[in-house]
Amino acid sequence: YLDNGLVSYDIHYENDTYFEDVPGLSNIYIRVPWSVIEPEKGNFDFSVVDGAIEKFKRAGKQISLRFTASETGHVYATPKWVFDEGAKAHWWGYDGKNDSYSMPYFDDPVFLANLDVFLGEVAKRYDGNPNIAYIDVGSLGIWGEGHTGSAGYTLTPEMARTHLELHAKHFKKTKVVVLDDMGQNFNDRFFPEIKADVIRLGFGLRNDGYAGVDGKMRFILPEDKTLGDGIWEHAPIVMEPEHYGEMQRLDIWGDGVDLAHWIDTVHATYIGLHGY
């Protein structure tokens, strides 16, 4: 139950012994909508992050963070007041629902100005905190994964560079990690176009759901190189598998996926547990 939903982290549960069920577990990944932290302009509530730090620190674990601007399960992952101030919203649906969730235009000046302030507050509180392993650039795309999927909104390399620079502006000590799925969808990614910027800024690389239903890995390029070449030497490489339950159902966890080989090939720093 350490997964995407905030209710799954169970930071108030006193018993920490379940960590012993996962050998080698080093950090707990937490994805938080911006609106949870700043529900009103200038009114910051970091209790969910602080509570997680305190709980998992007692078990000798770090946390890793992603603050998102567009989510399922939250009509407003970017706080509603940002749109009330004039930021333009794009509405999209998921799982057969229409116009259910808000998505900012990621180059909107009102959105970016408020995001700048928000990231500054996050960095003021957490940059260099030894209990935090890394923080994602989570302000782009659905779930902060850098893509807009079927939302009908196209990201550009210029938008991505703006968000990278904002994170570089504020996070000087804690490692920053960039999602490789930036673009409209998994088949229309432009990460190679911004890779030089990622290397220049000293950022790491993350891939969410790298093993698809066919057991293949998007991290590996056709020329038998990896997206992380030139990055892993100085920054974290984070691998998140397909949802574990789905891989079990399709019987590709142990057969079609040579996990140890992939970890070695991409020089992975962390591999996540994905699924309920």
Report DSSP letters for 140-164, one per residue.
SSGGGSSB-TTSS----HHHHHHHH
Of 71-85, 97-111, 159-173, minimum mean pLDDT range: 97-111
**C-alpha span between 256 and 159 (Å, rounded):** 36
Q: What is the predicted pLDDT for the residue at 41?
A: 98
Of 109-118, 167-176, 227-236, 266-275, minimum mean pLDDT range: 266-275
Q: What is the predicted pLDDT for the residue at 2?
A: 47
**C-alpha span between 182 and 148 (Å, rounded):** 8
DSSP category for residue 179: E
12 has pLDDT over 80: no
DSSP E strand boundaries for the chain: 27-33, 62-68, 89-92, 101-104, 132-136, 176-179, 204-207, 237-239, 270-271
- Confidence at 16, pLDDT banded by 50, 70, 90: low
Q: What is the predicted pLDDT for the residue at 102?
A: 93
Q: Calculate mean pLDDT across residues 152-158.
A: 87
Contact 207, 181 (CB under 8 A): yes
Predicted TM-score (pTM) of this structure: 0.91
Q: What is the predicted pLDDT for the residue at 43?
A: 98
**C-alpha span between 247 and 251 (Å, rounded):** 6
Go through the chain and tell me how many residues it has.
Answer: 276
How would you write 74-96 as a 3-class SS string?
A: CCCCCCHHHHHCCCCEEEECCCC
Q: What is the predicted pLDDT for the residue at 23?
A: 80
**C-alpha span between 142 and 74 (Å, rounded):** 11
224 has pLDDT over 60: no
Q: What is the predicted pLDDT for the residue at 46?
A: 95
